[in-house]
Each structure stands twice: as C-alpha cells, then as structure tokens.
Amino acid sequence: LILWTSMLAAYARQGHTKEAEQLFGAMPVRDLVSWNTLLDAYGRNQCVRKARQVFDLMPEWDLVAWSLLLVAYARQGYLDNAKQVFDSMPLRDLVSWTSLLTGYSHQGSLRRAKMIFDLMPERNLVSWTALISAYALHGDFQHVRGLIGLLPELNIVTCNAILAAYVEENTISEARNLFAAMPHRNVVSCNVMLAGFAQTGDVQEAERLFSLMPEVDVVSWTSLLAVYGASFRVDKAMQTFELMPERNLISWNFMLAAYAQKGLLEETFQMFDSIPERN
C-alpha cells in the first residue's frame, strides 16, 4: 500500500493526473493517505472540479484532506470557496491557516492575508515567511524590514524570501550581503540572485554566479538567457537557449523577446512558429 501510494504521489508531483487516476483505480487496497494523494494529484494540477469529486467520494476526511481541498481552491484563485472550506473544517491547524493566508496574498489581498495572520492562534516560521512574501508582493518593503526583526528563527526558505524582497526592491547590495551571509544556499537562492543581475543587466555577475552554481534548473538557464537578451547579446542568448537541457514556455518567451527587441522580425516569427506548445 505504501509503495503504491508513493508512486501515486510521484505522479501527482509530476502532473501526471491520468496515470495517477489509473494507478488509484488499480490499487487493491486504499486508505486515507492514498485518497488524499489522489485528491492532491487533481488539486495541484488545476483540476479543482475533480478534486472536489474525490473529496466527496472519500470515505472519511482528516486535516490533510481538508487542507488539500482548501489549497486546490486557493491555487485556482477561488478564495471564496477556499474560505468556505476553511470555515467548514471541523478542526484547523497551522497548515490550514497558512494556506488561506497565502491564498489571499497571491490573490493580491494583503489586507486579508494580514488579518488571517493576526487571527491565527499560533504561528511558525512558515506563517511568518508567508507574511513577508505577502508584503514583498505588495511592494511594501518597509514592513518586510520590520518583520525581519521579529522572526523567531531563520531557515533557507525564509532567507530566500527576504532575498527576493531585496531583489524586487532593487537593493542589490543588500541582497548580495544576505546571500553571502547565508549559512546555506540552494538553487532558489541562486536563481533569486540571477534574477537580480538580470534586472540590473549585470551580465558578468550573472555568468560568474551561473558558472559557480553546483546545480542549475530551467529557471537558472532561463535567467541567464534573459540577461543576454536584455543586453542585446542575441547570439549568446541563442547559444544558451540551445544548450539548455529543457525549455519551457517562459524560456521561449525570453528568446522571442531577445529577437524582437533587436528588431529581428523574421527570426522572431520563425521562432514563434517553432514553439512546440503555445499559449
């Protein structure tokens, strides 16, 4: 059962909803955790309707099931539904509160996010980080700074959120200081800095950081490509584009922008036509 459910979770994470559905259908036994995992497979892949159906079909519900449904609605921007779920839950924990907070924040309602934070019966580093990101998203860096002093502790995700706020605010020197002072960095920390260099058009720093990164992902590659594009180095941008082990629509978009910015209309159209999947 545990093995089956682990596979189910893997499908859910990779967005293989169909496979998850089939696997679940073929499972000889199911328990609450496997039901929850199926619910998650739909919820995190934009199938809120299906997620709701699974929820209604489940033999029983625990906090995880309720949270998964809440998050499924919140991720799609259905905050009214998310709030309804929140209100209907027999019990709420830190996860439910923080999920609602993040939902409001991403929807742009800083006021409600803050209200949830104030109403929460308890808070942990995750809730604090969610609030920091909410303020940063709103462009309220004064509050971000104020919150930093109130943090009970720091971890890498929280540092990354602060780092991103500095970059967003365009205070690159502060970002650099924090980046250097962090006890650990991961690929997200580096990607945030790369985005900062892209913002300031600092090709050299971006190249240097990229070459030093122990691990890069599609975001890192795309940021590097973006730096070249922004500095009109279409050749380098293209070279990077071809070197990337995987591309997504965002990478294609930056490459298009690189050509378009240079006025290379013919190339832009050609590239547009070769995008495997357009939106």
Closest CA to 77 of 99, 103, 101: 103
HSE value, Cβ hemisphere, 13 Å, CA-based, for 56: 6
Task: Report phi then psi at 216, rounded to 5.
Answer: -125, 155
Please give the residues from 165 up to 204 whose contact with RNA meets the rule CB under 7 A.
187-189, 191-192, 195, 198
Per-residue binding letters, 56-85, with RNA (x by CB under 7 A): ------xxxxxxx--x-----x--------
The count of other CB atoms within 10 Å of the CB of residue 44 is: 17
141 Cβ neighbours under 8 A, 6+ residues apart = 135, 165, 168, 169
**45 scored as a contact of RNA (CB under 7 A):** no
**Contact status: 248 vs RNA (CB under 7 A):** yes
In the complex, what is the shortest distance from the CB of residue 124 to RNA, in angstroms, rounded to a whole number? 5
State in angstroms the smallest separation of the CB of 18 from RNA.
18
Query: Could you write out the DSSP letters of every residue in 37-79?
Result: HHHHHHHTTT-HHHHHHHHHH-S---HHHHHHHHHHHHHTT-H
Q: Please give the size of the binding site for RNA, defined by CB under 7 A.
A: 68
Site string for RNA, 130-169 (x = CB under 7 A): x-xx---x-----------------xxxx-xx-xx-----
Closest CA relative to residue 231, chosen from 266, 267, 265, 207: 207
One residue of 116, 175, 219, 255 binding RNA per CB under 7 A:
219
Binding site for RNA (CB under 7 A): 1-2, 5-6, 9, 31-34, 36-37, 40, 44, 62-68, 71, 77, 93-96, 98-99, 102, 106, 108, 124-127, 129-130, 132-133, 137, 155-158, 160-161, 163-164, 187-189, 191-192, 195, 198, 218-219, 222-223, 226, 248-251, 253-254, 257, 279
